[in-house]
Amino acid sequence: MIRRSLAGAILGLALLCAAPALAQGQAPTPAHLQAAREVVELTGVSQSIDNIYKEFKDNAKELIGPTRPELLKDMEEVVAALKPESDKRAEEMTATAATVFASKMTEADLKEVAAFFKSPVGQRYNALRRDAMDDLLTVLQPWSVQTSNYLFDRFSQEMRKRGHAL
């Protein structure tokens, strides 16, 4: 599950950072950073970051619950105590994501992206994005293995043609 959140965050960053980059060394203005943060929030990147704590909590419960049910109460207390630390780290990563967006896109472009995600079609996109990403990752994993195996087989064939045994 954590992989899906991270994959969603990475895909979102990759898709939206395809715009022209700013000149290197130019620090973004506060307004530029605010526009970038809005894009981070509207596109679901920050939600993916925030979901890491929930997934950690769920995974801890799944790991400990079935085998050590006597630890569940303490586990829940410890996990709850870690929430403020998790929130702080999530805020730091969200700020970092905003800085990355600001370094890759102009303020004007970020405002256009935000306008799209505020539009009805952008809102519909966001509503289906997570389900679409889940479906895509379900298809992508076996495809990735198959493609990797195919490429390795082809690589081996071509290397044998050149006289190399692997």
Distance CA 64, CA 82 (A): 17
> Higher confidence at residue 65 or residue 2?
65
Quick: pLDDT tens for 48-63: 899 999 999 999 999 9
Give the contacts of 11 (CB within 8 A, at least 6 positions apart).
133
pLDDT at 12: 58
Sequence letter at residue 19? A
Confidence of residue 74 (pLDDT cuts 50, 70, 90): very high
Q: What is the pTM for the complete model shown?
A: 0.68
Residue 79's CB: how many other CB atoms inside 10 A?
17
Structure tokens given for 97: 């994501």
Instruction: Give me the mean pLDDT over the 13-42 stretch.
Output: 74
Burial class (CB in 10 A: 0-12, 13-18, 19+), 102: buried
CB 105, CB 75: distance < 8 Å? no
pLDDT in tens, 85-112: 999 999 999 999 999 999 999 999 999 9
